[in-house]
Amino acid sequence: MPKIQTQGREKPENGICHDDSASPVKAKTIDELHSLQKKRSAPTTPIKDGAQQGNVAFATISEEERQKLQSIRSIFNLQTNISFSIIKKGGNIQIPCRILDHRCIHTTLEELEDFSTPDFTIYNAGQFPCNRYTHYMTTSTSIDLNLDRKEMVILGTQYAGEMKKGLFGVMHYLMPKRNILSLHSSNNMGKDGDVALFFGLSGTGKTTLSTDHNRLLIGDDEHCWSENGISNIEGCCYAKCIGLTKEKEPDIWNAIKFGTGKCPIKLYMHFELEPFIFFCPNVCKFLAVLENIVFDEHTREVDYSDNSIIENTRASYPIEYIPNVKIPYVSPHPKNVILLACDAFGMLPPVSKLTLPQTMYHFISGYTALVHSRTIREA
Ligand SMILES: Nc1ncnc2c1ncn2[C@@H]1O[C@H](COP(=O)(O)OP(=O)(O)O)[C@@H](O)[C@H]1O
Ligand SMILES: C=C(OP(=O)(O)O)C(=O)O
């Protein structure tokens, strides 16, 4: 097999060789990023107004409205825990969290004023959207978590994955203490109630394969598996959209739209059981949010094939934007557990039925290709 060529990095002493052939992000400032994002149309092309469906960037609305709507990206809406409580205790567990985000992409200041006593706070002072792979190499980024103070501080990046995965990390700490397994997995359910759990690292196809027109989506990325079954941690999906087409992935395509749906999250001010995180956007209007994409300044059409900012382009949308979603996001135990791998070098057969020891081996080994959303730490 040909040796993997890497760009200019010596093989480290520990012998691990990373494929860092990805071209680094070209923009270094927000202004540079914005100018990379908007392109192509002749200046005379009329600018479209108003909310539109489909392949159109969020920029079609006013700046004020955009900021308001962006604030409820709801990847943190943590319906999860409400759902989780339904199967576990038949009551409500709310996990209170607030996110202080100086650019108001994920929360707005007026909302924050309502949350003077959250139990868990994420301070996000990131400057630059992009991804978890590139910014470690090009900018100074830190994610600090203090479980005693119940605080997380994210500096140097606006990539929403940091907050999403940051909270997921907190769940990896909290859930085992309750004898619950937190899993980087997607889940869906067939018409006969059979549940499939897709387990895999970033880029292995959890979102893509669980979004299936013939099955009910329970969640695309983060789940808890307890003795009572499966529950989704989020209320939203965070799909990669590089190369997205309506033909290949129609449900994800259609989920990227303007919307006026009711926000599923209400103010949960009372806590039963152990309160930990609190998140509540009180704006009842939301839509999908795109990150790192390139769009036409005048027609506002998104070019999903354009990776000039970064390969890791993202769309986050409320899970209800997928037509066949299971509400609440809970299910019985899975009938089939599928370990996914993005096998860029053809090491594995397309499909293998594993014995229990083989399953344990592949669970631990996590063999997959390094894709752009994965950090050097994970590699
Ligand atoms: N056979 C395939 N199965 C799953 N995804 C595929 C496949 N071929 C290409 N892809 C692409 O790979 C990416 C998988 O990403 P995603 O589903 O977001 O992974 P994950 O949710 O596990 O991080 C998507 O961009 C998808 O379009
Ligand atoms: C959000 C992420 O997870 P995934 O790629 O599995 O969606 C990420 O790794 O940045």
40 in a structural domain: no
71 in a structural domain: yes
- Residue closest via CA to ligand 1's atom 16 equals 205
Q: One-letter amino acid identity for 224?
A: C
Q: Supply the pTM of this predicted model.
A: 0.71
Residues 6+ apart with CB under 8 A from 323: 213, 251, 254
Residues 6+ apart with CB under 8 A from 42: 298
369 Cβ below 6 A of ligand 1: no
Ligand 1 atom with minimal separation from the 244 CA: 27
The residue ranges of the chain whose pLDDT is under 70 are 1-141, 155-158, 160, 235, 257-289, 297-300, 371-379
The whole-angstrom separation of Cα 83 and Cα 377 is 31
Ligand 2 probe mutation, 172, 201, 238, most atoms within 8 A of CB? 238
Distance 204 CA to ligand 1 centre (A): 6
Q: What is the pLDDT of residue 174?
A: 78
4 in a structural domain: no
Helix (H) or strand (E) holding 98: strand 98-101
Q: What is the pLDDT of residue 99?
A: 52
Residue-range definition of the domain harbouring residue 162 = 63-365
Q: What is the pLDDT of residue 255?
A: 83
167 in a structural domain: yes
* Structural contact between residues 340 and 206, judged by C-beta atoms closer than 8 angstroms: yes
Distance 4 CA to ligand 2 centre (A): 24
Q: What is the pLDDT of residue 376?
A: 37
Helix (H) or strand (E) holding 134: helix 134-138
Extended beta strands in 129-254, E state: 142-146, 151-155, 181-189, 195-199, 216-219, 222-226, 229-232, 236-240
Which of 327, 257, 243 is closest to 290 using CA atoms?
A: 257
Expressed in angstroms, the distance from the first to the final Cα of the chain is 20
Ligand 1 atom with minimal separation from the 238 CA: 18
* Structural contact between residues 368 and 204, judged by C-beta atoms closer than 8 angstroms: yes
84 in a structural domain: yes
Locate 8 and state its tokens.
């200019």
DSSP bridge partners of 101: 124
Query: Number of folded domains in the chain?
Result: 1
45 in a structural domain: no
Q: What is the pLDDT of residue 130?
A: 46
Q: 158-167 pLDDT, tens per residue?
A: 676 777 787 7
Please report the ipTM that was assigned to this predicted complex: 0.97
27 in a structural domain: no
* Structural contact between residues 56 and 301, judged by C-beta atoms closer than 8 angstroms: yes
Q: What is the pLDDT of residue 302?
A: 83
Which of 353, 245, 228, 282 is closest to 109 using CA atoms?
A: 282
Q: 204-259 pLDDT, tens per residue?
A: 999 999 999 999 999 999 888 888 888 887 767 888 889 999 999 999 988 876 54
Q: Maximum Cα–Cα distance for the chain, whole Å?
A: 64
Q: What is the pLDDT of residue 132?
A: 47
161 Cβ below 6 A of ligand 2: yes
* Structural contact between residues 206 and 220, judged by C-beta atoms closer than 8 angstroms: yes
Q: 241-252 pLDDT, tens per residue?
A: 899 999 999 999
242 Cβ below 6 A of ligand 1: yes
Q: What is the pLDDT of residue 292?
A: 78
370 in a structural domain: no
